[in-house]
Structure 1
Amino acid sequence: MFKKRFVITLGDARVGKSTTSRLLLELYLKNKLNVRVFYHGHRNKLSMYQTKGFEINHLGFSRGDSDRLLLDLEMFPKIDVVLTDMPGQNLREFKFFDKDVSLIENLKCLGYRVTFLHPISHRKDCVEEYLQDLYQHFGSQVDYVVIKNYYFSKQFRYYEGSQFQADIKKINGLELVLGGLDNDFYQLLEDTGLPYAQLIETNSPINTIQRSIVFNWMENFHNSIVSNGIASNYLGLSTNCVELASVGANKQSLSNLDVTEDIESEKW
């Protein structure tokens, strides 16, 4: 078993990649992990977490970028996990990058196992043009966590029951669920420009009911990870992180409101 994880969130456009990355950063903060954070593309959608002590740097697709990354990871051996947020349009470039610099193999030599964290929606492209393409290129060199984003639907007909789903499960691929929020609610969270955990504090700019929704939404996703040994391993959490599953019930009275978060709408 690899002691370190290099987690890459990727997939089709606007399926919840950065949302999932932010939720992971909250979990890493809870577990006090030593984390390196990067983003590809032109927009740093994780920038609000710089106020929480994360240094978030751009990672390009050149040999120089690869050399700097590998040198950084080699010089700081106490890093627990690396998280990289990658836009969907960079998938083709990323595959060429891996082939050119042998990224997966070099990370393996440094003691890192790569996990692809891939949210999906109800759309066919999510599976056939992204997830399946990813699997065909990398195969069992990496681990896969498929996030069923209930924002879009609770039915994923292009994924569930498919041969591709069976192939992923054969190599111990994992499926998790991300609860859905109403479109206007997502926009409200974006407009605050704040880390998610800051939104559930008493001085939050949102009201009590809204804080309860955010709290339960976060806790449900986090608990699905920390209560699952494989998920904890794939996403770089320490072996004792299961204890986090009970933190929410004792930490915030907001959980008692139990407001349902799975409100669906047609568009993101």
Structure 2
Amino acid sequence: MFGKRFVITSGDARVGKSTVSRLLLELYFKSKCNVRVFYHGYRNKLSMYKTKGFEINHLGFSRGDSDRLLLDLEMFPKLKVILTDMPGQNLREFNFFERDVSLIENLNCLGYRVTFLHPISHRKDCVEDYLQDLYQHFGSQVDYVIIQNHYFGKRFRYYEGSKFQADIKKLNGLELVLGGLHNDFYQLLEDTCLPYDQLIETNSPLNTIQRSIVFNWMENFHNSIVSNGIASNYLGLSISCAELVSTSVSKQSPSNFNVTEDIESDKWELFALPN
């Protein structure tokens, strides 16, 4: 039985991998989990979370990188969760890297079970390219969490009812939903360069309605994890951590009201950042 988790985002470009990673970091922070964070590629899209005490380092695809990572994990046995944000274009490179250094096997020896966190959109490539390549390469060696990102709508015709979905379910894969936001809202969040939880505080650059939208969006996603034992396990959250987060969320300001996550475009001017 593995007591630790190595969580890796995977999937096509611009499907919400870094967004999901940030939401997970919020959850890990509230749960007081001992987490180490890495990113592949050239852009650190999680850098704003250094202000919350997370150590975020680059992880390359060489034997030297693998050796340093494994040595680091061995030297700090109390680490419970590793989160790695991987750009879509790096998947094939990562597959070669894993095969070359036997990464999964070595992580298992250190007590880590790997989870691939895989958001999907309405595009065929998300399923018939990236997801297929992922489970054909790793099979039952790892666990899978598929995120249906409702930013792209609520129908995933290339996934739902497909052979790919059936194959993932045979491997005990899990499906979660990430609520959709207005097209411009994601850019609004990016422009603040702040962790998500700071955006729901009264002194944030967002107005009351915007803060409520962000609060409900975060809460819905977090609750879908902490209320599901399998999701909590796959993402490195113990039962005690899940209870802590659930209690913490429920105690936040009761004045937050429900606002639909899909904002009509002609009303967007109501939610612009103040000058």
Shorter-chain TM band: over 0.9
**Which residue number in structure 2 is paired with residue 253 of structure 1?**
254
Paired residues for 1:187-226 under 5 Å: 187-226=187-226
Query: Does structure 2 retain, via aligned residues, the 8 Å contact 1:212–1:254?
Result: no
- The total of aligned residue pairs comes to 264
Shift of 1:46: 0.1
Paired residues for 1:1-268 under 5 Å: 1-243=1-243, 244-255=245-256, 257-263=257-263
CA distance in 2, matches of 1:264, 1:149: 18
Q: Which amino acid aligns with 1:209?
A: I
- Give deviations 1:44-84, integer Å, cap 9, x for gaps: 00000000001100000000000000000000000010000
Q: Which runs of 5+ in 1 are unaligned?
A: none
CA distance in 2, matches of 1:184, 1:101: 41
Shift of 1:254: 4.4
CA distance in 1, matches of 2:195, 2:242: 23
SS in 2 for 1:251: coil
Query: Could you say if the C-alpha distance between residues 30 and 179 of structure 1 is closer, same or farther in structure 2, counting changes exceeding 3 Å?
Result: same
Shift of 1:253: 3.0
CA distance in 1, matches of 2:248, 2:157: 35
Moved over 4 A (4+): none
Q: Which amino acid aligns with 1:60?
A: G
Q: How big is the alpha-carbon RMSD for the aligned residues of Structure 1 and Structure 2?
A: 1.1
Q: Which amino acid aligns with 1:148?
A: Q
Shift of 1:245: 2.3
CA distance in 2, matches of 1:68, 1:58: 11
Sequence identity (%): 83
SS in 1 for 2:159: coil
Query: Does structure 2 retain, via aligned residues, the 8 Å contact 1:215–1:254?
Result: no
Query: Could you say if the C-alpha distance between residues 123 and 139 of structure 1 is closer, same or farther in structure 2, counting changes exceeding 3 Å?
Result: same
SS in 1 for 2:118: strand
CA distance in 2, matches of 1:23, 1:35: 14
TM-score, normalised with respect to structure 2: 0.94
Query: Does structure 2 retain, via aligned residues, the 8 Å contact 1:127–1:158?
Result: yes
SS in 1 for 2:43: coil
Query: Could you say if the C-alpha distance between residues 149 and 11 of structure 1 is closer, same or farther in structure 2, counting changes exceeding 3 Å?
Result: same
Query: Does structure 1 retain, via aligned residues, the 8 Å contact 2:11–2:88?
Result: yes
CA distance in 2, matches of 1:245, 1:31: 9
- Give deviations 1:69-116, integer Å, cap 9, x for gaps: 000000000001000000000011000000100000000000000000
- Give deviations 1:113-134, integer Å, cap 9, x for gaps: 0000000000000001101110
Q: Which amino acid aligns with 1:259?
A: V
SS in 2 for 1:146: strand
SS in 2 for 1:140: helix
Q: Which amino acid aligns with 1:104?
A: I
CA distance in 2, matches of 1:31, 1:252: 19
Q: Which amino acid aligns with 1:25?
A: L
Q: Which amino acid aligns with 2:254?
A: S
Q: Which amino acid aligns with 1:141?
A: Q
